[in-house]
Structure 1
């Protein structure tokens, strides 16, 4: 897993700076989701072997490992902000036909529109001049800094925009994930089966 990047400079110094600022997904979110996937799937190949399921354990394990790589790829997105616009991209090793990014010039953004989710939360979209909607990246580290940049470059009001999930929610999920992993390890340990 990659180390978390250095904090971007203060936004007030950015509009005149030619250096792009890169925001990556929050390390807490990445670690929690990857760990949760591992905790849920780790016992499956062993259970397949114990129950003599029709799917061979090696095939199930290989498929689950590919799924973990796919999740890691989906969590490799980064948001780059410079004086020209905002770009969402993925790690270079991620095939573009599987996960493609986008670029939106600042002068093409006309509004930021909220939409409710099925769970009752709010997500936000950049609305462009040609009425295309681009999902506002709400899971990046430094989200408030990102919003300040958006406001500086577009003059749009971002004061009411809040992240979809608060860090404490992912903190609780991470603790539960670690407990689940400990139970998995204990259950699969030869010591638990005398």
Structure 2
């Protein structure tokens, strides 16, 4: 990160770092500095900064699908934060729900309450990553899927707009059987233009508050 760890520097890194791998590497390089701000007896530095750093660092693991490493990180977070800080607690709860494949619970934890600055930046980034990854996984695994199940996996509302959202992403809608027939997403449509991501479409029609 270069400059001393601060909320301002963390905000800059979370906002401006273009790739998930680079973001993880930068935050990894800051962990030693964060560790100097607490002891086994308690927190000696800025608790707000530590909350923002460790929550963001945990999400950076999830952005590169390092679930086991994220679980290991929870053993290094100050115990005072784990016991008393709601942001840290919610971040760990999201890790747990992802590990247990609880999709509705994950979306509810991500979207149910506002996140503090600058953690909100990486949470939004992860929400888009998780939604798109879920869409691609469902597209590969299912030959057909009921709309209510698709909505649960993708964090979308099961309403009249769901068909439009998923058809735009290349799925077929079988109105006779009331089923979607997923297709593995192509990198490009025939015209040579990239398909809009599920996150881009969802921002237009509104993601569900699960």
TM-score higher than 0.5 here?
A: no
Length-normalised TM-score, structure 1: 0.31
* Structure number with higher strand proportion: 1
Length-normalised TM-score, structure 2: 0.29
Which of the two has higher C-alpha Rg? 1
Give the number of the structure with larger relative contact order, counting CA–CA contacts within 8 Å between residues 6 or more apart: 1
* Structure number with higher helix proportion: 2
